[in-house]
Amino acid sequence: MRLLICIKQVPDSTTRVKVAPDGKAIVTDGVTWSISPYDEYAIELALEQKDTAPDTVVSVISVGGPRTKDALRQALAMGCDDATLITGEGVDALGPLGIANALKLAVDDLTPDLVLCGKQASDDDQGFIGPALAEALGWPHVGQITKLAPAAGGTEIFKETEGGHEVWKATGGVVVTVQKSPKEPRYPSLPGIMKAKKKEIPERPVAGVDDPVKLEIVKLEPPPARGGGKIFKDGDTKSHAAELAKLLRDEAKVL
Amino acid sequence: MKIWVIAEQKDGELRRVSKELAAKAATLGDVTVLRVTGERVSAAAAAAALAERATSDAPDLILAGATPTGRDVASRLAAKLKRAYLSECTDLSIDGGSLEVSRGMYAGKVRARIRAALPAVCSVRPNAFPLADGATEPAVTDIAAGAAPGLEFVRFEPTASSGGRVPLSEARVIVSGGRGLKGPESWSQVEALADVLGAALGASRAVTDAGWRPNEEQVGQTGKTVTPDLYIALGISGAIQHLAGMTSSKVIVAVNKDPDADIFKVADYGIVGDVFEFLPAFTDAVTQVKRGS
C-alpha cells in the first residue's frame, strides 16, 4: 500500500500572530515555521499503517518555496519514506485550485492508493485542498477522519461528526482529510533526523498548472480586544455565583 | 441575484443553520433551498447532483452551513464548478460582481475580510445570521443524490456521552471545563449546569488529551472555534490556543482559582474562586433566575 500525505508549512501554533501594517498579510519576521497541526495527525495516521504493515510506503509532498523543505525534512524524520516539493516561480501566488491541480499531477506520477491531508491548514483555515484534489482526481473524499482500518476489499474510514463517527468504506483511490485523533503525532527520533538530513528531496515544477480561482485579501485584523470585565476577586464564591446569574439575565441579557 | 442554500436535515427537521441561511439569502436575492435526499450521502454524490443542476440554474452564490457535512459538500461542489470557496464565513455581502466575506484565520487569531468573484460557494457558521423569532419555514426542493462510486457508508458509531445535546458549533450557550475540574467525575456537576442552561459541553485540550472528555468537545486550535452568546469557562487557564477558539463569543464568563489566569483577560465576568463551590451555587441561581424569581 502506498500512502501520500499533503502537508503545508505554517506559523507554529504557539506563535502570537501579528498583522502587517498594510493589513494584507501577517508579520513573518521571527515566526517559527512548522507542519500544520492537522497534517501532523495525518502523518501519524499514515505511519501507524506502516507500523502494522511494514511494506507500506509513506510519501509526503508539499507546495511552497525553499523553506518548505524544512517541513518535509521534519516529516521524513518522523518516519516518512520519501518527500517531494512542488516549487518554482509564482508558487506563493498559487490559488487553491492551482495547488490542487499541481498535487493531482504529482499523484498521477506517484500512484498512491490513498491520499491524506490535514482537515484544514492552520493559517487560512479553509479546508479546500483535500476535497479539490479528490475532485481533480475523480476520487471520493471523506472529511474530518480520525482513524483508518484495513477491511475486506478496501479501507474503513472513520469520520468524526456530530454525536459520533460515520464509518465509510473506500474500495479504490480516496482522499481523506484528517482531524485531530487521540494519538499524538510522534516526535522524530535521532536516527530519523540523521537519515532525513541525507535524503534527496526531488522538486517538481509548479509552472503551467490550471489555476482558475483567486481570492483577494481585503483586510486582516486582530479580533476585537476584550477585557475590562467585572472580576469578583474576593469574598464568597456562592454569593458571587448568585449575583452573576442575575447579571447574565439583566445586564448581559443572555439568560 | 440567484442564491442557493444547500439545506441539511436533522431528526426529520430542517437544521437551524439552514433556516438561518435561507432567511439571510432572501435579503440578498432569489433563494432556492435545495436538499439532497437520502441518509449519509457522500460529499461526491451530493456534489455531483448539485453541480448538474447548477449548470442549468446558474446560481451566483451557493451557501451551506459550516457543519461537518456542509463543509464537505460545499467545498467539493466549488471544486467541481471551479469556483471560489470560502469556509466558515461569519458575514457576507455582495458588491456588484463580487462577494466579500468575513472569516477567521490562524485558528481565530486573525479576522479576515476576503473578496472573490461571483459565482462563489461559501460555508457559513451557525449563529452568524441569527434567525428572527417566528421566521417562516422556507420551501425546500428535494433532489436525488448523484452517483459516486468507490465509497460506501457502512455504519454509525455513536459517542457514548453525546446523548441529546446541541452540537457545539451550533450552541447558543456553552459550558466548558478545564484541568481545574480535576477529573472526569466532575462532569456530572458540569452537565447539571449545562442541563439548566440548555447548553452544549466544551472542554480544553488538556481535558480531551487526558481522555476525560471526547475529542469532539475540544474548543480551540485543533478543536472547534465557537461563537456562542454565552461561554462559561470553568477551571480553564486560557492558553493562547484555547482563547483563539472562543474569544469571539458574545459574553464570556470565567471561573478560576488563579487570579492571574489569562482567561480573565478575555472575560466579561470573572470569579476568582473555587469552581466546586461555584458550580452548585450557580446552577441553583440560574434555575431561579430562569424561573423569573
Distance of CA B203 to the CA centre of its chain: 15
Rounded to 5 degrees, φ, ψ at B9 are: -115, 145
Cβ–Cβ contact A113 with B under 8 A: no
Q: Are residues B195 and B90 in the same domain?
A: no
Domain annotation covers residue B217: yes
pLDDT score for B161: 62
Residue B79 contacts residue B70 (beta carbons within 8 Å): no
Q: Are residues B137 and B188 in the same domain?
A: no
Surface of A (39-78) touching B: CB under 8 A = none
Per-residue pLDDT for B293 more than 80? no
pLDDT score for A245: 96
Whole-number Å distance between alpha carbons of B203 and B236: 8
Q: Are residues B287 and B164 in the same domain?
A: yes
Cell numbers for B63, please give them: 451557501
Per-residue pLDDT for A47 more than 70? yes
pLDDT score for A8: 98
Look at B110 and A143 and tell me if their CB atoms are within 8 Å: no
Per-residue pLDDT for B257 more than 80? yes
Domain annotation covers residue A126: yes
Per-residue pLDDT for A5 more than 70? yes
Work out the pLDDT band at B159, boundaries 50, 70, 90: confident
Domain annotation covers residue B255: yes
Whole-number Å distance between alpha carbons of A98 and A85: 15
Domain annotation covers residue A221: no
Per-residue pLDDT for A115 more than 70? yes
Q: What is the mean pLDDT of residues B151-175?
A: 85
Among candidate residues B82, B113, B144, the one where a domain is terminated: B144
Domain count, chain B: 2
Whole-number Å distance between alpha carbons of B193 and B122: 35
Cross-strand pairs, B105: B110
Residue B241 contacts residue A13 (beta carbons within 8 Å): yes
Whole-number Å distance between alpha carbons of B121 and B79: 9
Cross-strand pairs, B98: B95, B117
pLDDT score for B163: 63
Please count the CA atoms within 13 angstroms of the CA of A91 that sit on its side-chain side: 19
Look at A180 and B218 and tell me if their CB atoms are within 8 Å: yes
- Residue type present at position A198: K
The beta-carbon neighbor of A216 closest among B105, B111, B114 is: B114
Cell numbers for B206, please give them: 488538556
Q: What is the pLDDT of residues A146-167, one digit of tens each?
A: 999 999 999 999 999 888 899 9
Cβ neighbors of B195 (< 8 A, separation 6 or more) are none
Q: Are residues B132 and B45 in the same domain?
A: yes
Q: How many C-beta atoms surround the C-beta of residue A243 within 10 A? A: 16
Whole-number Å distance between alpha carbons of B198 and A160: 23
Domain annotation covers residue B152: no
Whole-number Å distance between alpha carbons of A45 and B115: 35
Domain annotation covers residue B151: no
Domain count, chain A: 1
Q: Are residues B132 and B192 in the same domain?
A: no
Cell numbers for A233, please give them: 476577586
Residue B283 contacts residue B175 (beta carbons within 8 Å): no
Q: Is the peptide bond before B119 cis (omega within 30 degrees of 0)?
A: yes
Look at A255 and B286 and tell me if their CB atoms are within 8 Å: yes
Domain annotation covers residue A214: no
Q: Are residues B115 and B167 in the same domain?
A: no
Kindly report the length of chain A. 255
Q: Are residues B173 and B91 in the same domain?
A: no
Q: What is the pLDDT of residues B119-134, one digit of tens each?
A: 999 999 988 998 888 8
pLDDT score for A170: 97
Q: Are residues B108 and B171 in the same domain?
A: no
Domain annotation covers residue A151: yes
Closest by CA position to B83, among listed B99, B66, B67: B99
Residue A135 contacts residue A191 (beta carbons within 8 Å): no
Per-residue pLDDT for A102 more than 70? yes
Q: What's the gap in Å between the CA of B205 and the closest CA on chain A?
A: 11
Work out the pLDDT band at A249, boundaries 50, 70, 90: very high
User: Model-level pTM?
Assistant: 0.92
Domain with B57 in it: what CATH number? 3.40.50.620
Whole-number Å distance between alpha carbons of A104 and A130: 11
Work out the pLDDT band at B162, boundaries 50, 70, 90: low
pLDDT score for A80: 98
Cβ–Cβ contact B175 with A under 8 A: no
pLDDT score for B222: 87
pLDDT score for B178: 98
User: In the block, which residue shows the cell 482558475?
Assistant: A212
Closest by CA position to A10, among listed B107, B114, B245, B226: B107
Domain annotation covers residue A227: no
Cell numbers for A173, please give them: 483511490
Q: Are residues B10 and B69 in the same domain?
A: yes
Look at A237 and B271 and tell me if their CB atoms are within 8 Å: yes
Domain annotation covers residue B155: no
Domain of residue B104: give its range. 2-144
Domain with A41 in it: what CATH number? 3.40.50.620
- Residue type present at position A223: P
Per-residue pLDDT for B74 more than 70? yes
Query: For the residues of B112-148, what is the DSSP string, one character each?
Result: EEEEEESSEEEEE-TTSSPPPTTPPPPPEEEEE----
Distance of CA A72 to the CA centre of its chain: 13
Domain annotation covers residue B153: no
Domain annotation covers residue A232: no
Domain annotation covers residue A242: no
Domain of residue A67: give its range. 2-205
Among candidate residues B118, B144, B170, the one where a domain is terminated: B144
Q: Are residues B186 and B274 in the same domain?
A: yes
Cell numbers for B107, please give them: 485558528
Integer angstrom CA distances of residue A172 from A115, A157, B45, B73, B138: 11, 12, 16, 20, 39
Q: What is the chain B residue with the closest CA to A230?
A: B269
Q: Are residues B10 and B106 in the same domain?
A: yes
Phi-psi region of A237 (alpha: psi -120 to 50; beta: other; left: phi over 0): alpha
Domain with B213 in it: what CATH number? 3.40.50.1220
Q: What's the gap in Å between the CA of A10 and the closest CA on chain B?
A: 9
Query: For the residues of chain A, what is the DSSP string, one character each?
Result: -EEEEEE-EEE-TT----B-TTSSSB--TTPPEEE-HHHHHHHHHHHHHHHHSTT-EEEEEEESSTTHHHHHHHHHHHT-SEEEEEE-TTGGG--HHHHHHHHHHHHHHH--SEEEEESS-TTT----HHHHHHHHHT--EEEEEEEEEEETTEEEEEEEETTEEEEEEESS-EEEEEPP-SSPPPPPPHHHHHHHHH----EEE-TT-------EEEEEEPPPP----EEE-SS-HHHHHHHHHHHHHHTS---
Domain annotation covers residue A84: yes
Q: Is the ipTM of this complex over 0.90?
A: yes
Integer angstrom CA distances of residue B71 from A192, A249, B64: 37, 35, 7
Q: What is the chain A residue with the closest CA to B46?
A: A140
Q: What is the chain B residue with the closest CA to A27?
A: B110
Query: Cα angle vertex A172, ends B64, A59, to 5°?
Result: 90
Q: Are residues B9 and B118 in the same domain?
A: yes
Look at A162 and B216 and tell me if their CB atoms are within 8 Å: yes
Whole-number Å distance between alpha carbons of B143 and B171: 29
